[in-house]
Amino acid sequence: MNNIASNTGMSDQDEIERKYLVDTEQLPDGVKNMFRGGEYDPSVTRYGRITQLYLPTNQYLVRYAVSAIMQNGRHDEGNGVSLETRQFFEDPKNISEVRIMQREQGFVDTPDPKKAREDLRALSTQAEQNNDKSVVKPDAFQITIKGNSSTSGVVRRNLETDPTVDQHVSSSVATLIEMAREDPAWSEEPWKVEKMWYDIRFPHPDGSGKLCTAELDIFPELYYMSVAEVEASSETDLAKIDSSRPPWLGRDVTQHSDLKVRNLAGMRDISVLNEQTREAMQQYLYAWLNGLYQPTVLGERINDISSKIRDKSFVVVGSFKQWLPHIRRISRDLARRCKGVYPRISTLDVARRQGSPSNSDFRIEAEIDAGDFTTAENNYVNQIHARDALYVVAPDGRLGGNSGRETIEAFFAGKQIFLSEVINRMASDLEEDIDVQPIIAKLIGKFGRMDPAQQKTVLENDISRFVRECVECTEGEKQRIRSKNMARLLGDKG
């Protein structure tokens, strides 16, 4: 749970909470409809995709984490945290976890996914018109340090920043991850958990009219297992809520330490959970797979093509400077459904991107490892040729210059091409290039004028085949266009 003291930018307080498995059959109808079809329900807030990354708790890293939280909270003297508190959290013996949270920021709180897409496109268009090259909607980061739990397991001390898109916090997050990498026993993937986060409100059993909140976590990597946490201001109040909780809050698993989110990091198979926990989960485990779970706003089209991509490997392209968090999430969604995805994008990549004062020279690790810009672009072309398909991420419906030319190369190489969104506009250098227009025009012209049902059919049956059937070119013309396109892609403007 996230205890936030909004007037200080940080919190130092005890967590008092219980954890339950969720009986989806008992959910209120309005909540069920929200999950099934994205309908609005006033009792639910959707926070989108969350990544939680757990770092080593050595003294060097713990002290830096405390300092980062202090520096990124309120900047007056003392920062609202006592000396005793600071000393407590700086001692690794008191600490159960140091955690980085990365929270999706893509209009995820809207009740209407269609409006979310329209808002995203409008904001991106406005930024483009204003020549604003910054990230339109960066992800929020949060740094959290948790103390060891009490004997009862329901109370522990907690120190954290607000979830924020602040550049300094992103920079501190990047530094913490780089420090963690110095530990030879630590790497990012085994210490990472992805989940979808929803808050569901329900009446307090005391009849006062106030509301309680259950924080619902759904874990895509674990058959969409779900766990809900309910927090209270005191153990007495928590006991009242627990004794009269709604029926959809099923079995109490507060004492099941293997269901703590930290212990789910890197887990891909529930068979490693202890026997008692597996037994407790039996009646709850697969409910979300039976048509109830809604994917993220930016990744919904992946479900449309799931059956088409199981035996394929992908290269994912899009604007890393603008859409890196979204590309990372979609890449991971694809990876769960197909043979493999290039490139791998890490939490560190996103933190570095958002913590950088300038995006002019930003490159993800996969590009840095490949060498200079031309070598890295050649590597992308080689990856396109080595893999089965291309997936173009364009949340705002705009095809960028490099992405467009990589798409054209994939087209000429006979690869399948899939789109995250309908493309309805393109970068100026593509727009001005009359040689590529016969191809790009099919992506943003005829396809863009189809109704959603027709678009879905084309997406399911491979957009590249649709374009190939519409473009008439001789072999000589194809080679000339391809050569010119590659020269532009690799930076030769002559």
* Cis peptide bond N-terminal to 343, omega within 30: yes
DSSP 450: S
- Whole-number pLDDT of residue 448: 62
Strand partners for 372: none
Coil/strand/helix, residue 142: strand
What percent of the chain stands above pLDDT 70?
Answer: 78
Residue pair 40/30 in contact by the 8 Å Cβ criterion: no
Residue pair 364/320 in contact by the 8 Å Cβ criterion: yes
- Whole-number pLDDT of residue 349: 93
What is the identity of the amino acid at 466?
F
The token duo for 195 is 């989940």
Q: Which domains does the chain have, with CATH numbers?
A: 10-104+139-289 (2.40.320.10), 297-489 (no CATH)
What is the identity of the amino acid at 291?
G
Strand partners for 10: 161
If one counts every other C-beta atom within 10 angstroms of the C-beta of residue 329, the result is 27
What is the identity of the amino acid at 175?
T
d(CA 384, CA 412): 11
- Whole-number pLDDT of residue 73: 61
Cα–Cα distances (Å) from 109 to 2, 49, 193, 201, 485, in that order, read: 17, 11, 21, 15, 40
Tokens 């890197």: give the residue. 266
Q: What pTM did the predictor assign? A: 0.80
- Whole-number pLDDT of residue 278: 85
Residue pair 327/421 in contact by the 8 Å Cβ criterion: no
Q: Where are the alpha helices (DSSP H) in 162-234?
A: 167-180
Residue pair 97/159 in contact by the 8 Å Cβ criterion: no
The 10s digit of each residue's pLDDT in 312-331 is: 999 999 988 888 888 888 89
Residue 70, H or E segment: helix 59-71
Nearest to 467 by CA among 400, 421, 430, 416: 416
d(CA 327, CA 106): 12
The torsion angles phi and psi of 228, rounded to 5 degrees, stand at: -115, 135
Intervals of the chain under pLDDT 70? 1-14, 37-38, 73-81, 105-117, 119-121, 123-124, 127-128, 130-137, 150-155, 286-301, 303-304, 358-360, 444-450, 452, 455-463, 492-494
